[in-house]
Amino acid sequence: MKKVLVTCPPMLGLFEEFVAPARELGLELVPAKTTQVLSEQELMELLPSYDGWIIGDDPATQQVFQAAKAGGLQAAVKWGVGVDNVDFTACHELGIPIDNTPQMFGGEVADMAIAYITGLARQTYRIDREIRQENSWPKPAGMSLAGKTIAIVGYGDIGYQTAKRLMGFDVNVIAYDPGVEGNKGLDYVTRKPWPDNLEQADMLVMTCSLNKHTQHMLNAETLAAMKAGSYVINVARGPLIDEQALIASLQSGHIQAAALDVFEVEPLPTNSPLREMPQCIFGSHNGSNTVEAVKRASHEALKKLARFLNE
């Protein structure tokens, strides 16, 4: 029986569901004590005792893998789509087989993007808070979505699923993604190179992966190019946005509000100026976390890890 450390919070939330299926694959799962990520030092101390690792958003760095390999780690799987926290090159150099679980929950994250779009447009989250916390009965005028332009950065699984869900909203969609050609059959989607026509967008939705080309792609310059009074939504990775530049743009009123499921530092620091902006909506990097999606991605991670460990 191969011993496997699980550090992925969504999988940990339904941990008992995976114990028996893992055993059938020859894996003994051990849950890490974490709500978000473990530190490099914690991982370096823990991982040498394990044969396999199912990774969440932890710092899976070269030195972590070196320490783990020295103790006997044989394989790893990154749970989910994003791999920006994982040093795949180090794994290959150390001879540690590794993979991720792509295209597992594009629809679920797209559902969250739509929730944020409608929540910003109609201020539903703010109304809810004021009713609950202030005992008030607010009636702010919202924004009609029909006829508006929504820009989507990233036209992979999540971006496409978001665009597809927008079909019934009677909006125009601009999609940015140099790695994808065409509009995937959605005739209301116009393809543009980033950041062309950004000034036309009433809302900007970030759904792309994080890499050296996309880090801080939404910065002071590109925010200034956006339409005054527009909205920003991020359901992908926090560092896609220069958070300080976004804060400045929100404080000036150029960007009217933002819906952020992810941040540059997670959890969001208690002293972040974002916390003082009631017009904004915040999540806890939880866009993919539905029961169905967690089961789907976790079983895929287990199968991949078992295949690696039993080769």
Place of tokens 């509000």: 257
Beta-bridged to residue 152, according to DSSP, are 175, 205
Residue 122 annotated in active site: no
Token pair, residue 270, equals 């208690």
State which H helix or E strand residue 247 sits in.
helix 243-252
Pairing of strands 255-260, 230-234: parallel
Angle between the N-to-C axes of helices 124-134 and 106-122, in degrees from 0 to 180, rounded to the nearest 10: 70
CA distance 245 to 116: 21
- Point out the catalytic residue in the list 45, 199, 221, 266: 266
Place of tokens 């792509």: 102
Per-residue CA distances from 142 to 65, 121, 229 (Å): 50, 6, 13
CA distance 38 to 41: 8
Residue 237 annotated in active site: yes
- Point out the catalytic residue in the list 126, 237, 264, 300: 237
Residue 130: count of CB within 10 angstroms of its CB: 16
Q: Identity (one letter) of the amino acid at 12?
A: L
- Point out the catalytic residue in the list 126, 243, 285, 300: 285
Catalytic residues: 237, 266, 285
